[in-house]
Amino acid sequence: MITTSSRPSTAQVASHYDDLDPFYRKLWGEHVHHGLWERGDEDAERAVCALVDRVAEVARIAPGSDVCDVGCGYGATACRMTERYGARVVGLTISRAQAEYAQRAIQDPDAPRILCRDWLDSGLPSESFDAVVAIESLEHMLDKPRFFAEARRVLRPGGRLVVCSWLATERPTPWQRRELLERICVEGRLAELPESDECSRWFHDGGFVDVTFEDLTAKVQRTWTLCAARVARAVAFDRTARSFLFRGSSEHRIFALTVLRILSAYRLGAMKYGLFDAIKP
Kindly indicate the confidence band of residue 248, based on its pLDDT and cuts at 50, 70 and 90: low
Q: What is the mean pLDDT of residues 36-47?
A: 94
**Direct distance between the N- and C-terminal alpha carbons of the chain, in angstroms, rounded to an integer:** 28
Task: Please choose, from the candidates 131, 96, 140, 91, the residue with its C-alpha nearest in 3D space to the C-alpha of residue 113.
Answer: 91
Residue 197 lies in a domain: yes
**Residue 236 binned pLDDT confidence (cut-offs 50, 70, 90):** confident
Q: Give the ranges where the chain is alpha helix by DSSP (H).
A: 10-19, 21-28, 44-58, 76-85, 96-105, 144-154, 174-175, 182-187, 196-205, 217-220, 222-237, 239-242, 255-267
Residue 119 lies in a domain: yes
Residues pairing with 88 in the sheet: 66
CATH code at position 124: 3.40.50.150
Give a yes or no: residue 274 inside a domain: yes
Q: Which residues contact 243 (CB under 8 A, 6 or more apart)?
A: none
Q: Does 3 map to a domain?
A: no
Output 5 or 153, whichever has higher pLDDT. 153
CA distance 218 to 262: 14
Let me know if residue 66 belongs to a domain.
yes
Confidence of residue 249 (pLDDT cuts 50, 70, 90): low
pLDDT tens-digit map of 69-115: 999 999 999 999 999 999 999 999 999 999 999 988 887 778 899 99
Pairing of strands 129-135, 155-168: parallel
* pLDDT averaged over every residue in the chain: 93
pLDDT value at position 161? Answer: 98
Give the pLDDT of residue 185: 96
**What's this model's pTM, rounded to 2 decimal places?**
0.94
What contacts 214, CB < 8 A, 6 or more positions away?
274, 275, 276, 277
Q: What is the DSSP letter of 193?
A: B
Residue 205 included in any domain: yes
DSSP 270: S
pLDDT in tens, 14-23: 999 999 888 8
Does 264 map to a domain?
yes
Count of domains forming the chain: 1
Give the residue numbers spanning the domain of 177.
10-279
Identify whether 2 is part of a domain: no
pLDDT band at residue 247 under the 50/70/90 scheme: low
Q: What is the pLDDT of residue 213?
A: 98
Residues 6+ apart with CB under 8 A from 261: 179, 180, 183, 184, 187
Burial (CB count <10 Å: 0-12, 13-18, 19+), residue 56: buried
For residue 129, what pLDDT is reported? Answer: 98
Q: What is residue 248's three-state secondary structure?
A: coil
Q: How far apart are CA 101 and CA 90, in angstroms?
A: 15
